Amino acid sequence: MTARAGAAPGPQRRQAIVLARRYALFAAVFAALIAGMALAEAWGLPRGWIGVSFLVVTVAIYAGIGFLSRTSNEVEYFVAGRRVPAVYNGLATAADWMSAASFIGTAGVLYLQGFAGFAYILGWTGGFCLVALLLAPYLRRFGEYTVPDFLGARYGGHLPRLVGAGAAVGVSFVYVVVQIYGVGLITSHLTGFGFELGIFVGLGGVLVCSFLGGMRAVTWTQVAQYIVLIVAYLVPLVWLSAKQTGSVMPLVSYGTQLEQIAQRERELARDPAELEVIVRLRQRATEDERKLLDVPAAMVADELHQSEQIAALRAQNAPLARIQRAEREHAQRPRSEAQARQFYERERDASLAHARPLAGMAPQTLPFAAGDPAGDAGARASFDAARLNFIALMLCLMMGTAAMPHVLTRYYTTPSPAQARRSVGWSLLFIILLYMAAPVLAVLVKYEVLQHVVGLPFDHLPQWVSRWTRLDPALVSAHDVNGDGIVQLGELIMGGDVIVLAAPEIGGLPYWVTCLVAAGGLAAALSTADGLLLTIANALSHDTYFRVVNPRATAAGRVIASKVLVMAVALVAAAIAALKITDILQFVSAAFSLAAAAFFPALVLGIFWRRANGPGAVAGMLAGLGVCGYYMATNLPVLRSILGVTRPLAETQWFGVDAIAAGVFGVPLGLLAMVWVSLLTPAPGPAQRALIERMRFPGPGER
């Protein structure tokens, strides 16, 4: 007994040494890649080769880790053998968490929305506190493989498990489509491939990891991916800080740059040229509304006007860039009446959105910029609505984080419940590194745009503007609205998804830094896509096929089924992502509201309320999902367009809450439905009560 107790730390210590050496070697290889690409650019290597090198080398390393971690063992495939140390599970969870939304979208939303963007940071970090306190150690003590596993065991019967599996598939699929969209965006940015081809090139890296080795391969790949993404995020941040302020401590210089941005924003809000652009944009919106009354005639008039404009530019011997821009707009004009109608509607909405001070962006330093608490009744109402939406979104993201199946599954992989709790702490530490950097990066990029882009002649626009415009005009575009030849803020459209990826180019940093950031974004998107694909495949193969349809299925059969489903789901998600569903953060936030409504009451009450039963859990999950889905369908712009909802938002919104925060209605309703139905139906059986006691009050060896 003593020998065995004394020998236990030996394997753990050896594992820690081996892992430390392997990832130190990986970090050294990655540093050598960065140094090599910096030297290659200095020596004149073509830019295309630098981007492709970052893509090929990093994806090849991820694939190599996935290949070396391949397995067909059931426990290894589903939960990495339950022997991932807390610190490495924290790294893997942070990478799993740092999706394309976190890496690409967080700084973007802070750039566009200012203070309101902090709802994402507060919600996501606060959610991990809920995970540590309410869920992670208890789920690890339960064991098994998935969240639907817990629902099936805790509530009994197949129905809670099937509803949980369906919800896990739905939530994860929405989320994984967004990640694959990010993969396509970043891969095309790195290589110059078309967006659709970029999706399928990047998808190969996803499939090699999750297909071959399941959770074991995904875990060790995600540790490497976290190293890549955090380095890629911090390098341009520190460099931009040193370039703008002379300080390599971005957090120290943050306040100084924030003050300068506030001053510049005040100047732009009073600038006569900016005010003229606002007037012209409103006129454009009115003109687009008029065109919608007779679309065919408007198409003919637009084609004639563009042709005359190109001829006039050539006759004036205008700069080549202006001629090419006019020719590109002519070539991209809508060719059918349906396309033209969508184009005019999109142009009208975009003009109205930008026909406001600061191009519709919130002042960076003003909390709840939508109104004034000391103003008239309308200003106070706007302020209250902005504050309400901030709090609602933050709560949805907190509860959604605590209920995300692909995150909770990570805590099944630790050796013990205590390690699971410590793993949450490590996860939060590694996540905070990026979330503390995001507001600073947003401010540094905005400083560059306001100081060094706004006010330039259109003929001298930086190269990155035209490059991103060619890639996707919805991300970056510039039009001389008032005809003065000078770029005003209201004439420059920048989507939130481009802020991080274009930050090095905006700041005038070397091209290899741009490729490094893209490699980091790719690592973030791939790591989350891996975890989500596994969650979907396991919900279908393990929770549905094995637990319900064919309980006699062998372990090897379940693993094979999961592998086949990973590939099938990835291809379907890629096909949907190829439709270019933009605004990453909006769809991710919607996924969090759905997860909160589906799982949060069932998981928390299942652990802490003995009277909760199967009928109550099913009623709660369906009620929460139903109200959340209905609210999104009637208020989320993309879904409203698809479903043909024509009623104004003011009539379909409840209390003025935005669609992405629909979870604030779904969670309370699901909680009430679960409590009410549980009290009206029989109490849980002996097996369920015993499970609660084991999770809540473990023996000495289960802590």
Please state which of the ranges 247-261, 262-276, 556-570 shows the lowest mean pLDDT. 556-570
Q: What pLDDT, on the 0 to 100 scale, is given for residue 373?
A: 56
The H or E element spanning position 41 is helix 9-42
Please state which of the ranges 114-128, 134-148, 175-189, 316-330 shows the lowest mean pLDDT. 316-330
Q: How far apart are CA 40 and CA 50, in angstroms?
A: 8
Please, are residues 296 and 337 in contact by the beta-carbon 8 Å criterion?
yes
Return the higher-pLDDT residue of 144 and 403.
403
Helix (H) and strand (E) counts for the chain? 30, 2
Tell me the H-state helices in 453-488. Answer: 463-471
Please state which of the ranges 174-178, 262-266, 374-378 shows the lowest mean pLDDT. 374-378
Q: How far apart are CA 141 and CA 695, in angstroms?
A: 6
Residues 489 and 462 in one domain: yes
Query: For the chain, what percentages of helix, strand and coil (3-state, to nearest 5) are there?
Result: 80, 0, 20
Residues 102 and 234 in one domain: yes
Chain centroid to CA 515: how far? Answer: 20
Please, are residues 51 and 190 in contact by the beta-carbon 8 Å criterion?
yes
In a 13 Å sphere around the CA of 156, the CA atoms on its Cβ side amount to 16
Please, are residues 645 and 633 in contact by the beta-carbon 8 Å criterion?
yes
Residues 479 and 349 in one domain: yes
pLDDT of 22 strictly over 60: yes
Residues 545 and 574 in one domain: yes
Please, are residues 425 and 136 in contact by the beta-carbon 8 Å criterion?
no
> What's the sign of the alpha-carbon dihedral 27, 31, 37, 40?
negative
Residues 432 and 356 in one domain: no
For residue 513, the cross-strand partners are none
The H or E element spanning position 477 is strand 476-478
Residues 317 and 194 in one domain: no
Average pLDDT, the chain: 85
Residues 176 and 266 in one domain: no
Q: How far apart are CA 649 and CA 618, in angstroms?
A: 31
**476-478 and 492-494: which strand pairing?**
antiparallel
pLDDT tens string 409-423? 988 899 888 888 899
Domain boundary among 506, 522, 540: 506
Confidence of residue 703 (pLDDT cuts 50, 70, 90): low
For residue 486, the cross-strand partners are 457
Residues 518 and 499 in one domain: no
pLDDT tens string 608-657? 999 999 999 999 999 999 999 899 888 887 777 777 777 877 778 898 89
Please, are residues 114 and 365 in contact by the beta-carbon 8 Å criterion?
yes
Q: How far apart are CA 172 and CA 154, in angstroms?
A: 22
Q: How far apart are CA 217 and CA 534, in angstroms?
A: 11
Residues 464 and 606 in one domain: no
% residues pLDDT > 70 (the chain): 94
pLDDT of 253 strictly over 80: yes
Please give the average per-residue pLDDT across 429-443, as a whole number.
93
Say which CATH number the domain at 531 has: 1.20.1730.10
> What's the sign of the alpha-carbon dihedral 24, 27, 32, 33?
positive
Please, are residues 589 and 657 in contact by the beta-carbon 8 Å criterion?
no
pLDDT of 235 strictly over 90: yes
Confidence of residue 374 (pLDDT cuts 50, 70, 90): low
- For the record, the structure tokens of 662 come out as 């629909």
pLDDT of 592 strictly over 70: yes
Residues 40 and 55 in one domain: no
Distances, alpha carbon 680 to alpha carbons 295, 600, 615, 616, 670, in Å: 59, 21, 9, 9, 15
Residue in 215, 37, 224, 169 with CA at minimum distance from that of residue 543: 169
Hunting for tokens 């139903």 — which residue is that?
Answer: 626
Please, are residues 606 and 154 in contact by the beta-carbon 8 Å criterion?
yes
Q: What pLDDT, on the 0 to 100 scale, is given for residue 570?
A: 82
How many other CB atoms sit within 10 Å of the CB of residue 440?
22
Q: How far apart are CA 222 and CA 674, in angstroms?
A: 36
Residue 489, Cβ density class (10 Å: 0-12 exposed, 13-18 middle, ≥19 buried): buried
Q: How far apart are CA 164 and CA 601, in angstroms?
A: 12
pLDDT of 378 strictly over 80: no
Three-state DSSP at 363 gives: coil
pLDDT of 5 strictly over 50: no
The H or E element spanning position 628 is helix 614-635
Beta strands in 401-513 (DSSP E): 476-478, 492-494
Q: What pLDDT, on the 0 to 100 scale, is given for residue 553?
A: 78
Please give the average per-residue pLDDT across 225-238, as a whole number.
94
Please give the average per-residue pLDDT across 25-37, as a whole number.
93
- Return the top range by mean pLDDT from 158-167, 369-378, 690-699: 158-167
Q: How far apart are CA 145 and CA 538, in angstroms?
A: 9
- 22-26's contacts with Cβ under 8 Å and 24+ in sequence apart are 23/223, 23/224, 23/227, 26/61, 26/224, 26/227
Residues with Cβ within 8 Å of residue 273, at least 6 apart in sequence:
482, 484, 486, 488
- For the record, the structure tokens of 642 come out as 């698809």
Please, are residues 153 and 463 in contact by the beta-carbon 8 Å criterion?
no
| Residue 583 Rama label (left phi>0; alpha psi -120 to 50; beta) | left
Please, are residues 105 and 584 in contact by the beta-carbon 8 Å criterion?
yes
Residue in 273, 317, 272, 269 with CA at minimum distance from that of residue 483: 273
User: Helices 250-270 and 195-245, interaxial angle, to 10°?
Assistant: 100
Residue in 2, 248, 229 with CA at minimum distance from that of residue 96: 229
Residues 411 and 334 in one domain: no
Q: What is the domain extent for residue 105?
A: 45-247+392-436+509-549+558-702
**Cα Dmax for the chain:** 94
pLDDT tens string 64-98? 888 888 888 888 888 888 889 999 999 999 998 88
Residues 697 and 580 in one domain: yes
Name the domain count of the chain.
Answer: 3
pLDDT of 458 strictly over 90: no
DSSP 280-291: HHHHHHHHHHHH
Q: How far apart are CA 218 and CA 65, in angstroms?
A: 9
Three-state DSSP at 58 gives: helix
Three-state DSSP at 449 gives: helix
